[in-house]
């Protein structure tokens, strides 16, 4: 199972999904450019922002209230934005596509 991270300029990076990890952990373990995860997954830094491909948004779910507080301050925020540290990976996400923003906060 894989997830594809797409950078703002269209560069794709495929990473294996590990069920039970957060999407942020997977990204940082694989050194995906554009995902920092500075707070270690506490929904407190906003540097793990991803924009979920709209086709996947319903399956992976929308942001919760803690995420909303961080995302509200983000100028690159989109309707399907999430904090990837708050996304617990499921095997059903095989083929997931997320975009990384131009800048992390």
Residues that bind ligand FES (CB under 6 A): 24, 37-39, 41-48, 70, 83, 85
CB closer to ligand FES, 33 vs 55 = 33
Q: Helix, strand or coil for residue 43?
A: coil
Residue nearest ligand FES, CB atom distance: 85
Q: Smallest distance from the beta carbon of 57 to ligand FES, in angstroms?
A: 18
Would you list the DSSP string of 60-100?
H----HHHHHHHTT-TT--TTEEEGGG-B--GGGTTEEEE-
CB closer to ligand FES, 34 vs 37 = 37
Rounded distance between C-alpha atoms, residue 42 and residue 52, angstroms: 19
Q: Smallest distance from the beta carbon of 88 to ligand FES, in angstroms?
A: 12
Q: What angle do CA 103, 36, 22 make, to 5 degrees?
A: 120
CB closer to ligand FES, 55 vs 72 = 72
CB closer to ligand FES, 38 vs 76 = 38
Q: Smallest distance from the beta carbon of 64 to ligand FES, in angstroms?
A: 12
Rounded distance between C-alpha atoms, residue 18 and residue 1, angstroms: 8
């Amino acid at each position: 199972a894989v997830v594809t991270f797409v950078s703002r300029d269209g560069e794709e990076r495929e990473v294996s999904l590990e069920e039970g990890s957060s999407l942020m952990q997977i990204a940082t373990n694989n050194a995906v450019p554009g995902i920092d995860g500075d707070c270690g997954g506490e929904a407190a830094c906003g540097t793990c922002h991803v924009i979920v491909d709209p086709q996947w948004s319903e399956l992976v779910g929308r942001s919760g209230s803690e995420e909303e507080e961080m995302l509200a301050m983000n100028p690159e925020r989109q309707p399907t934005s999430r904090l990837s540290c708050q996304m617990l990976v499921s095997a059903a996400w095989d083929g997931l596509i997320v975009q990384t923003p131009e800048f992390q906060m």
